[in-house]
Amino acid sequence: MTLHHEITGHADAPVLLMGGSLGTTLKMWDGQLPLAEQLCLVRHDQRGHGGSPAPPGPYEIADLGRDVLALMDSLGLERASYCGLSIGGMVGMWLGANAPERIERLVLLCTAAHMAPSLWQERAAAVLEAGSTEVIAEGVVERWLTPAFAAEHPEIRARLRAMLSAADAAGYAACCGAIERMDLRDDLRRITAPTLVVSGSDDLAAPPEEQVLIAQAIPGARHETVGPAAHVAAVEQPDAVNRLIGEHLR
């Protein structure tokens, strides 16, 4: 299976793979396109999202990680840096721990190494019963942006909501199952890639204390907070996030 992806930047520049949040497409990273002046960005859709296939579930975080390795193989990339937000960050932790020889540097945004299973069981069940992600879209998007930003930028909120509503229901639910069963806490100490962990100051979905725990467990990791920003901090604070990513990859 090949993930749908877009490549932006110079072919001979350092490569940064970018995996987004549950319910989004690679367009989530549009605010990071200025990084293509120095980097070759490979933005991709997770399985079950956007233009990527939605194979039958169940899925595990390891499956999503192997999707990224397969994408790297298809592009002839032996090593690359990886940036992930939310479930994308979970994939990044799996890659750093299980394929260290493939990962140059890691950026983990608004993510967690373990989450309470009940939320994901309930969300998957609701989506499967309705046959659509529309049933959970409003409640989920409420947590993606701070209320002030959403009010000031209704077009960005609407664009993110449309991404979520368009996600394949079965693929989305299977990704919920992957998060439900995920526990990467014991894997963190095996990550050797230089790692930057970034929090959104107002993130209710993956609170900053979750990223503090990740940074404390990964040898040599650095933790930063951007704000005001909720869960999709790369959208709400693109300049701050881009500066941190640029510094880390340099």
Q: Which two tokens stand for residue 214?
A: 């990740």
- Using alpha carbons only, how large is the chain's radius of gyration in Å? 16
Q: Which two tokens stand for residue 243?
A: 């500066």
Q: How many CB atoms lie within 10 A of CB 6?
A: 16
Written as tens digits, the pLDDT of the chain (250 aa) is 899 999 999 989 999 999 999 999 999 999 999 999 999 999 999 999 999 999 999 999 999 999 999 999 999 999 999 999 999 999 999 999 999 999 999 999 999 999 999 999 999 999 999 999 999 999 999 999 999 999 999 999 999 999 999 999 999 999 999 999 999 999 999 999 999 999 999 999 999 999 999 999 999 999 999 999 999 999 999 999 999 999 999 8
Instruction: Report d(CA 246, CA 47) in Å as an integer.
Output: 27
Q: Domain limits of the chain?
A: 5-249
Instruction: Report d(CA 108, CA 180) in Å as an integer.
Output: 19
As its CATH architecture, domain 5-249 has: 3-Layer(aba) Sandwich (3.40)
Say if residue 44 is exposed, middle or buried (CB neighbours under 10 Å; 0-12, 13-18, 19+): buried
- 3-state DSSP assignment of residue 234: helix
**β-bridge mates for residue 43, sequence order:** 6, 18
- Interval 66-93: pLDDT, tens: 999 999 999 999 999 999 999 999 999 9
Distance of CA 169 to the CA centre of its chain: 18
